[in-house]
Structure 1
């Protein structure tokens, strides 16, 4: 491979912002919920690189063939890998595509085919495009990808300079699995590993039950520190594990471990006493179970009496769980733990993913 921009390249990043800016000079795109991916193509040779510059090529053989058909012969393109299922993006299904067994990779390539959406151009033929302003890179990208089919596996990201349109996307596209919008300064060059873009994500709160905790990786017997709170919500089947809350200062970690240790109970009789059954297949996985993502880590936890309620911030749900680690807001001593159920969560109106590809 001999390109004007060669791997490894770390992609340009975004810093969070509370609202869609209205100052002008910014191009907006839907924020895709997938794997960031840089595509390097030199003739028949194609390399897919992750956000951390690790190779993804072997995991997506079906997409490699589609990229050979869709992309220019020599180019470097920034974009996102995603898996769509029933008219929405499904990150958990995308995660399943990363598997060590070649036979499993081939099977999933048929059962869960991935797609790629392109949103920036770093190189074209013999030209390094990174110093060009985004408006020129985007125009060049649109020019070379003008013949893409909306039903294919390779797409060109939708874009607008209208803040009102971006605000509409922010509201409506979540129903198809998007988690916000991204803004890119039109005059900015491509800056690898720099947060020169902005991202506006959904922000919500929920009252959840604290039913367990894990020690921090630096915790010792002499100075135990909280690593994460294990959170639950009630439904007809009992208390379901929905995620974790893990961002605290060291001083607060020590205080919380001492405070919550008083609530420790035997695992027998705890709502999650059945942990370990159906570790991967169970959609409401409980803590302490292994999966292909745990890498053999110690996932044991300290079971706590489910009597404390905490308000946490989150962006969106993935199925029955929080998509990302939640943010601690405050304790809610006024809440009855059994009243913390799924009904309090905001219902997102479904949106047809196929319409996102329509300009």
Structure 2
């Protein structure tokens, strides 16, 4: 019987600036997918279980991952890693966040179809238990050595590369982003696995963009009109069409109240690019129904007359793209005309060969522009 049973809280990471050169750290590429703990016990009726970061089961959504792990790992083990979908096309291989998100679907028939069309890969980066031994109190170096000994190098099942060299980690940080990765993770070499605690470090890419503020949502725990929860962001494309690209929030309480007063004069029930006939061209709109929400989320339209600078890590989706995660407020841009907030300012990395990332080999990677 496994010494650890689900749910287990995964170990977490705190953000830091730059690659540390103090020694005593192991560095790994930071995969941008679904965090997943895998419980393997070949002696039970259901030999493989997949658990999300929040402790929920993921088994039904990734049947191909269950089969792959059961075929190639015949020892009791608990693995920590990431589920990703790799898109392969003429421009090279790249992580596909959109395709991964579509895998969380309630219909069993749809799940089976997507498992064939966009199969997921599990990339292991830690080992919490092996056979009857709980490894959470073992050093990261020992856990990593045992993980490497499992030989997880198959289609749909891989082990992330690792290095203790800051120069190599810096090179990874600079070039692997072009394959869709988030940055670099640093782990204390002698560190234990501490569930739910931020004992690792993450170094992520960050950029800024000037966006149009074209709407808002009221804060959920206040009376409507008294505090702003988030601002709806837009960017203009080459046809001067304003697209919804994401939100910015996480304001302090005092700023939420101040924004409610400051933006009140921009609230409109008249013509707006995201309302009525002007929005009937299939563009992505704020508050729309999606796989995470079965109902429209209420938002308040604002006349698109103000610009704001936000920081972001990645965009996703085909053009017109959107911000992958919630952005961070940097500053207001009263010097920018809203019409000047356009897609052409977004900085995306040069595409990079994903196979090079899987093998941790910068030199074998091929950039698309070469």
The two structures have a TM-score, normalised by structure 1, of 0.93
Label 1:72 to 1:197 Cα distance change in 2 as closer, same or farther (>3 A).
farther
Q: Deviations over 1:200-226 (max 9, x none)?
A: 0011111111000011101215x6210
Tell me the residue number matched to 1:250. 253
Tell me the residue number matched to 1:77. 79
TM-superposed CA distance for 1:329, in Å, is: 1.0
Tell me the residue number matched to 2:312. 314
Q: What do you get for the CA RMSD once the two structures are aligned?
A: 1.6
Tell me the residue number matched to 1:24. 23
Tell me the residue number matched to 1:335. 336
- Counterparts of 1:110-189 in structure 2 under 5 Å? 110-145=116-151, 148-149=153-154, 152-189=155-192
TM-superposed CA distance for 1:273, in Å, is: 1.4
Q: Does 1:293 align with 2:295?
A: no
TM-superposed CA distance for 1:291, in Å, is: 1.1
Tell me the residue number matched to 2:363. none
2:15/2:201 contact within 8 Å kept: yes
TM-superposed CA distance for 1:92, in Å, is: 1.8
Q: Distance in 1 between matches of 2:300 and 2:132?
A: 57
Q: Distance in 2 between matches of 1:292 and 1:178?
A: 23
Equivalent position to 2:203, from 180, 187, 200: 200
2:273/2:279 contact within 8 Å kept: no
Equivalent position to 2:217, from 214, 219, 222: 214
TM-superposed CA distance for 1:318, in Å, is: 1.4
- Counterparts of 1:235-274 in structure 2 under 5 Å? 235-237=237-239, 238-266=241-269, 268-274=270-276
Q: Deviations over 1:245-293 (max 9, x none)?
A: 0111111111101111100122x53111159868xxx5x5111311121
Q: Distance in 1 between matches of 2:137 and 2:96?
A: 34
Q: Does 1:92 align with 2:95?
A: no
Q: Which blocks of at least 5 consecutive residues in structure 2 are unaligned?
A: 361-370
Q: Distance in 2 between matches of 1:76 and 1:10?
A: 12
Q: Distance in 2 between matches of 1:262 and 1:63?
A: 52
Q: Which blocks of at least 5 consecutive residues in structure 1 are unaligned?
A: none
TM-superposed CA distance for 1:83, in Å, is: 0.7
Label 1:293 to 1:276 Cα distance change in 2 as closer, same or farther (>3 A).
farther
Tell me the residue number matched to 2:14. 15
The two structures have a TM-score, normalised by structure 2, of 0.91
Q: Distance in 1 between matches of 2:157 and 2:336?
A: 48
Q: Distance in 2 between matches of 1:102 and 1:74?
A: 28
1:77/1:120 contact within 8 Å kept: yes
TM-superposed CA distance for 1:47, in Å, is: 0.4
Equivalent position to 2:233, from 224, 231, 234: 231
2:85/2:99 contact within 8 Å kept: yes
Tell me the residue number matched to 1:49. 51
Give secondary structure in 1 for the equivalent of 2:60: helix
Give secondary structure in 2 for the equivalent of 1:184: strand
Matched pairs, number: 348
1:83/1:94 contact within 8 Å kept: yes
